[in-house]
Structure 1
Amino acid sequence: MNSIKHRYILKITPLTAVHIGTGLELTPFNYVIKLNKNRTPTLYRFIPGQVISFLSSEQKKELEKLSESGNILPLRKFLYNNFKAGMEIYSLPVSKDIAKSYVNNLQSERNQLIINEMYRKGDIYSPVIPGSSLKGAIRTAVLNKKVREKTSRGYAVPKINKEIQKQALNYKDAKDDPFRAVSISDCVIKKRSKNQIVSNLFIYKNTRGENSRIEMQMTYELIRGKLFNGSAIGGVELLIDNPLIEFPPVGNWEGIKVKLNIKEIADSCNKFYKDAFKEEFNKHYGSCNEFLLKNNLEMLEREIDDIGSDSNKISFLLRVGRFSQVECVTLEEPYRSPFNKKGYGKTRTLARYNDLEMPLGWVRVDVEKAYINGKPTERAVYHN
């Protein structure tokens, strides 16, 4: 029995913007947008109760009076006028169009100026890509590979998603699921301005080769990927529990029958997500005649092509977070539940930050270090 646990240190590099949501929203009662000392439009996020401690006695009286009046516009203006740098729990750059909209609508009841908050770590408020999101993306790619293998051997694909997974990964219930032996820690990204932004999203539509845009009021906090002139990088630990994988069947437990390893994970992810990107690029952006957008997409294409190109290292592609598009979070056709033949939708959701426009969620993963029972090794990286 191979009783050795394999531990890998992975570097996570978002290539585009990434949004992991909380369902919560920011309003002008817990943020302001002002120019920072470098004259960059910046969102300052604060906790109202903590801001009060910075106010003078007169300011506190004025705030109390405004709060009792029930009129939101003077209250918005008060918070804007009396906020000072240092009151915030975090800050991040905003795009020029968002800053302009904020100034123009701060005194408008018709615009709530809502910003969708991203998931952050506890009291330090650092952006986070949960390990569960990374593991889910990996599972989708591996599952797709296993389904392909089953169908190539003549197996019929079940119509119910849960049954597809059981057949492809060869398990009967959760305790036999091979991904029970895989764990991934959360990816915590430092809350520096180069690592996060506030951006508007828009709908990009392709109808019979004709491209158009649908501008909607969708404003989001985002992890700032490399191609958004960001430097967001995080590290995670991926553990493959070989003792559990190799443990023999006991009683009603049949054991884990599919043996996962890092090389298969990387190969599965590169095949699935690179194919998904190419298909999306060709179907939605191939006829794009907008110079800036086309240039941005070609930069992303080059970054994705580079992943996995070094035969001496392991790197792979993932797509995570909201707006990853259905094709990247479900099996490829013809296995995609609910087994319709509609194929790709006609729209894509893109993020815009000043002159940069790109789809969301693309992430590069590099295997930086490998350990067997706590000892550094190269063998674990290529273990089969």
Structure 2
Amino acid sequence: MTFMIPIPYRLTPISPIHIGCGEEVNWASTLIDGQNLLLIDLMKAELPTNLARKIIDISLKSTNERGLLQLQQLFRDNQAILKTAAYDAIPVRPKLLQEFKNKLGRNVQRNNKNAPIINKLDIARTAYASLTHSPYIPGSSLKGALRTAWLADKAKRQHVKPGNQGNELDEKKILGGSFATDPFRLIHIEDGMTTAENLTEAAWASNCNRESGKEKISNRVEVIRPCAYAAFSGSLRRRDLGGRPAKNHNREAQPVNAPPLRDLVNTVNNYHLKLFEEQARQWQNLKQIDRTWVEKTQRLLEEVNRQNCMLVRLGKYGTAEGKTVSDDMLRQVKVKVGKKEYKKQSHGTTFWLAGDYQAQSGFLPFGWAILEIGDYRSKVLQDYCETLGKKAPGTPSAMPKDPVPKDPQKALQWLKAKLGPATRNKEAQADLVIQVISSAGSWPIDDRYELSDLLADYNFGKFHQDIDDLLEEICEE
């Protein structure tokens, strides 16, 4: 008989996390609104005929960089109209936001033929749920972090040596043959989902030399902000085969069991704590690293290691050392040493750091998180998040607070434009709606009904019932 034993988990990011999903947003799908980028869907925009015709004409007649510049200028000058197509909002680091403002609709570079080069202003999105637009942590990312640590420990105990065919052969040696003998096939980890709001922001990802700190390349990325305690949750399930052996064709069948939870916690912590300390020593060379964060995180990890928590590293930009076995003899990182020359060595030569555009300090490494298992909740971790947690840029004022127009029809259009971004900040949305309802008591009854119909398409979370009650009052004759 097979048993699936669910064990709840909670995940707390302690540094910025970016989990690639293959999607980007750019100037053609965003608008600047205060400290936020509003994400827009032009297919849903209610465009005046003359504006739609201009967009089509420029798109068809000007396929070069000059046409792109004209489109950027057109979008910038018609933000009020395009806001009606907004469906989400991402806060942006201050200097990165200023970079957008400086480059949007302007020619800031020219090629060797003196033609304008238009910056696309791309931002790589982190993985998100398509229905709620909220970020999530894929269970496969978590499982990969745990399995890498477990494989590294097992390789060390078995004294596995590198083979001619690289990591694939090494892994087969460690597992004893195949998928059938892999204990991690008996561990199932759900995606980490969230109901929290304002968890992400757009930041600058800088690839720096580990010795000099000099930036080599950079990207704009959406990251999950650190220090939101227990922001993500799910379940980990251990499958028990009841002592039955694994089906391993052409080999003698061996009993396979999922790693005991206590052993897994210790193994994962040993791997990641060692990695953190190794890299913390190297971070001392980098002036842009936030040293307060490093010191406080080191003190946190001294406590976490004694509790039912695991330190893990997730997502993109987490260095090759965090995704390979820890033995220097087995790890082979491909490093560029010349224009077309590469070599393999046990460690990388750069770090990816998250911060603000052209900032000189305040950068953090990517991908670190604490995983709490079972019903245990770490008071030390909660205090750490309360101390280091920072208010997201652009919140709670993701929706600008302008006066409500006195004319009912203008007020309805005003509210529709404000609600367009569908920000995850339900409280800000509810404030806007209550502003309008408060002034709608003197409207003609047909306009009040139109307001009720408009709000029926929105979900205001915990404020929904209060808004329904207010609408019922003003819609009574």
The interval holding the TM-score normalised by the smaller chain is: 0.7 to 0.9
Tell me the residue number matched to 2:57: 65
Whether the aligned pair in 1 keeps the contact of 2:17 and 2:225 (CA below 8 Å) is: yes
What corresponds to 1:221 in structure 2? 222
The superposition leaves residues 312-344 of structure 1 with CA deviations (integer Å, 9 ceiling, x where unpaired) of xx1101101001101110011334343887333
Structure 1 runs (4+) deviating above 6 angstroms are none
List aligned pairs for 1:65-144, cutoff 5 A: 65-70=57-62, 71-84=67-80, 85=83, 87-107=85-105, 108=107, 109-144=117-152
The CA deviation string for residues 221-255 of structure 1, in whole angstroms up to 9 with x for no partner, is 111111xxx56710021111012x63235684724
* Contact 2:319 2:348 (C-alpha < 8 Å) held by counterparts: no
Cα deviation for residue 367 of structure 1 reads 0.9
CA 1:31–1:251: 2 relative to 1, 3 Å:
closer
* Cα contact 2:11–2:232 (8 A) shared by 1: yes
Bigger Rg, which one? 2
Distance of aligned partners of 1:45 and 1:190 in 2 relative to their CA distance in 1, 3 Å threshold: farther
Deviations 1:141-166 (A, max 9, x none): 01111111112xxx655453223223
Matched, 1:333 2:327: yes
* Aligned position for 1:304: 301
Q: Which residue of 2 aligns with 1:374?
A: none
1:247 to 226, 235, 244: 244
Which residue is equivalent to 1:373? none
Q: May I ask how many residue pairs the two structures share in their alignment?
A: 345
In proportion to residue count, which structure has more helix? Answer: 2
Q: Is the 8 A contact 1:125 1:191 kept in 2?
A: no
1:202 aligns with 2:206: yes
What corresponds to 1:28 in structure 2? 27
Secondary structure class of the residue paired with 1:365: strand
Return the TM-score normalized by structure 2. Answer: 0.66
Question: Corresponding residue for 2:394?
Answer: none
Structure 1, unaligned stretches of length 5 or more?
36-40, 371-384
Q: What secondary structure does 1:179 align onto? A: helix
Which structure carries more strand by proportion? 1
Could you say if the C-alpha distance between residues 344 and 250 of structure 1 is closer, same or farther in structure 2, counting changes exceeding 3 Å?
A: closer
Q: SS at the partner of 2:345?
A: coil
**Which residue among 184, 187, 193 is the counterpart of 2:192?**
187
> Does structure 1 retain, via aligned residues, the 8 Å contact 2:186–2:257?
no
Q: 1:202 corresponds to which letter in structure 2?
A: S
How far has the Cα of 1:95 moved from its partner?
Answer: 0.7
Task: List per-residue Cα deviations over 1:259-314 (Å, max 9, x = no partner).
Answer: 412112111110000000101111x1234556x7222322332333332333xxx1
Tell me, in whole angstroms, the C-alpha distance in 1 between the residues paired with 2:248 and 2:318.
42
What is the distance in 1 between the residues matched to 2:68 and 2:210?
Answer: 41
**Partner in structure 1 of residue 271 of structure 2:** 272
Instruction: Please state whether the residue corresponding to 1:235 is helix, strand or coil.
Output: strand
Q: Tell me by how many angstroms 1:352 deviates.
A: 0.2
Match of 1:174 in 2: 179
Tell me, which stretches of 5 or more residues in structure 2 are unaligned? 108-116, 334-342, 377-477
Verify the 8 A CA contact 1:196 1:232 in the aligned structure 2: no
- In the alignment, is the contact (CA less than 8 A) between 2:332 and 2:344 conserved in 1? no
Contact 1:224–1:232, Cα closer than 8 Å, also in 2: no
Q: Find the residue that maps to 2:325 and give its secondary structure.
A: coil
Cα pair 1:120 1:127 within 8 Å, conserved: yes
- Rate the CA distance shift 1:80–1:317 in 2: closer, same or farther, 3 A: same
Alpha-carbon distance, 1:123 to partner = 2.8
Name the counterpart of 2:391: none
With normalisation by structure 1, the TM-score equals 0.81
Q: Distance in 2 between matches of 1:10 and 1:305?
A: 21
Q: Is 2:22–2:124's contact at 8 Å kept on the other side of the alignment?
A: yes
1:180 offset after TM fit, Å?
Answer: 1.0
- Which amino acid in 2 is paired with 1:174? F
Q: Does 1:363 align with 2:369?
A: yes
Query: Amino acid of the residue matched to residue 319 of structure 1?
Result: R
